[in-house]
Amino acid sequence: MCGIVAYIGQKDAKPILLEGLKLLEYRGYDSAGVAVLTDAGVEVARAVGRVAVLEDKLEQQAKSGKAFAGTLGMAHTRWATHGGVTEINAHPHQDDQAGIAIVHNGIIENYAALRKLLEEKGHTFQTETDTEVLAMLIGELYAPSEGVDLEKAVQAALREVTGAYAIVVMCAQEPDVLVCARKGSPLIVGVGNGEYVVASDASAIVRHTTQAIPLDDYNVCRITREGFRTSDLQDEQVSPKVMQIEMDLEEIELGGFTHYMQKEIFEQPASMRNTLRGRIDHNEGKVVLGGVAGFAKELVKAKRVILTAQGTALHSAMIGEYLLEDLAKVPTECEYASEFRYRNPIIEDGTVVVAISQSGETADTLAALGEAKDRGALALGVVNAVGSTIARETDAGVYLRVGPEIGVASTKAFLGQVTVLTLISLFMGRRRFMSQVECEQLLTELERVPTKIESILAQADEIRKVTEKYVTKENWLFLGRGYNYPVAMEGALKLKEISYIHAEGMPAAEMKHGPIALITDGMPAVFIANRGAQYEKVISNIEEVRSRGGHVIAIATEGDDRIGNVAEDVIYVPDIPEPLSPLLTVVPLQLMAYYAAVARGHDVDKPRNLAKSVTVE
């Protein structure tokens, strides 16, 4: 949600900032801006729309002699929270007296009270944003003649603030200093040779350096070309934790694909092989999970598991609930993190709470995790982004290892989450009730999934043609049962997110309790009708839709020659034991959503109003 990149070093800052913004654009893209410290002071340019619009604007300005030449600067790509999407509300924001410029991710909750106070002191505001309030507050406190330099002014301002922030601040009066800080919103300081790249996301740093310091909450970092100092808000020095960014450049490049979402769908066989690598012990018919090995006893004895997440990750949690009860025989529930955190949940002895998150930064999931920890639960993370806040805040966890996911609509991370939840279920199940033979059979099948996904991807063109037949329809249903009910939810979410078609996902049986009233002539209904315990029941539900004029698209098991008699279109997936079936059935639904969005001419990787990582409640 919003992207920050800042640079201090020997090189020209502008191209580095623009390149960084493009890599971060997936985090927010309604407006963008840049500030560079030049000989003339702080120069700022902002534009509504994509980074490309800002780039054009900078080119025009360069032609009229404003080159933004300087070796210290900051930039921001915005996803509006406070204030409309206008140029004036775009970041960087400035104060009205000290020459302060700031970029900010997050929300300052007490901004209205602070603004009133600052207005009483005579400050005049240009924008409706909480960020400008922070710029003014830092400017108000800045008093170099009294020993309050930029670092101290930032510390003092942040002591007054409630809310979440990742900020980078610069000041015309201290032309060789960048100050950054975080609370609740990620910020990483990339440490190069005589240069530093600060960003909200490692992808904007990795081209420059792989050494980085992920800031902790309430850390303030003062950076000059000679070095940096990390402190807390009381100015006590903090020892920085240096980490290595493990990310290949190819992982953040399109590599011949048109869209990141397309690339990430097609990457799934490889990403799933990565998720599984080294985690299966065939000799013992066991799962090996280094990240939770220290808590194996607690997991084996767990009395209850609560899975919590938001968005697509919640759908993987819903599948996790089926997997854990079915394979590990542990009572499990699954809950939106946003609800869990506020509803005074009961956590008894032996409760394990698992937070599932691609980014590891989702505000509600993070807060749910905190609530669970405070109440004494063992807190585990199923996270993709290495070193992210959730990964660091949990007692233990299992990384997805699917590489950076850039398309806003999550695909390979979902597959990674379901794979990890399957591994955790087998890890616990085998140590609780499952025989070696039983576990080994499922593990062997699990290892075959990537190849089976390849065979589904090979049908992409067929899937595109089926999708294009229905792409003008504005209302779709997605229906499934058992393990594939959450897949139906995920299929509907994917379609909504990027093609803006209204879609509902639900258990197939639930349709009769209301949604059936919506079925009209030609309405597409996607049924996940693979072979499984409830196959016959799904066929009955298909008949109910057909008899009301709906058009059925069935996701069915290869070799099912009956389904063609009841469905207009059939997409086949290979046969697989039912607990593993979501790993296959979701893939055609991802492709359908992708092709629908392309056919409708949408910007697949940057759907309207969405953000990749939601770091506000």
Q: Are strands 475-480 and 396-399 parallel, antiparallel or unpaired?
A: unpaired
Q: How far is the CB of 473 from ligand G6P (least distance, A)?
A: 24
Q: How far is the CB of 81 from ligand G6P (least distance, A)?
A: 14
Q: How far is the CB of 333 from ligand G6P (least distance, A)?
A: 18
Q: How far is the CB of 101 from ligand G6P (least distance, A)?
A: 29
Nearest Cα to 530, choosing from 469, 479, 477? 479
Tell me if 402 sits within 8 A of 271, measured CB to CB: yes
Tell me if 160 sits within 8 A of 108, measured CB to CB: no
State which residue, 135 or 604, has the beta carbon closest to ligand G6P.
604
Residues that bind ligand G6P (CB under 6 A): 310-313, 357-359, 362, 365, 408, 410, 610, 612-614
Q: What angle do CA 379, 384, 385 make, to 5 degrees?
A: 100
State which residue, 361 or 569, has the beta carbon closest to ligand G6P.
361
Q: From the centroid of its chain, how far is CA 87?
A: 26
Alpha helices in 42-93 (DSSP H): 51-63
Beta-bridge mates of residue 230: 221
- The residue number whose beta carbon is nearest to ligand G6P equals 311
Distance CA 94, CA 100 (A): 5
Nearest Cα to 558, choosing from 415, 452, 430? 452
370: helix, strand or coil: helix
Name the one residue in this structure whose structure tokens are 């003062």: 222
Give, for 467, the enclosing helix (H) or strand (E): helix 460-470
Q: Which residues are catalytic?
A: 2, 612
Distance CA 463, CA 461 (A): 5
Distance CA 7, CA 205 (A): 10
Residue 189: phi and psi, rounded to 5, are -100, 110
Q: What angle do CA 126, 129, 133 make, to 5 degrees?
A: 75
- Virtual CA dihedral for 183, 336, 506, 384, nearest 10 degrees? 50
Q: Are strands 286-287 and 280-281 parallel, antiparallel or unpaired?
A: antiparallel
CB burial readout 390-420, b (16+ within 10 A) else e: bbebbbbbbbbbbbbbbbbbbbbbbbbbbbb
State which residue, 365 or 422, has the beta carbon closest to ligand G6P.
365
State which residue, 38 or 274, has the beta carbon closest to ligand G6P.
274
State which residue, 14 or 412, has the beta carbon closest to ligand G6P.
412
Q: How far is the CB of 364 from ligand G6P (least distance, A)?
A: 8
Distance CA 189, CA 270 (A): 30
Q: How far is the CB of 490 from ligand G6P (least distance, A)?
A: 10
State which residue, 414 or 595, has the beta carbon closest to ligand G6P.
414
State which residue, 291 or 311, has the beta carbon closest to ligand G6P.
311
Q: How far is the CB of 107 from ligand G6P (least distance, A)?
A: 16
State which residue, 94 or 312, has the beta carbon closest to ligand G6P.
312
Name the one residue in this structure whose structure tokens are 């809310």: 163
Q: How far is the CB of 609 from ligand G6P (least distance, A)?
A: 10
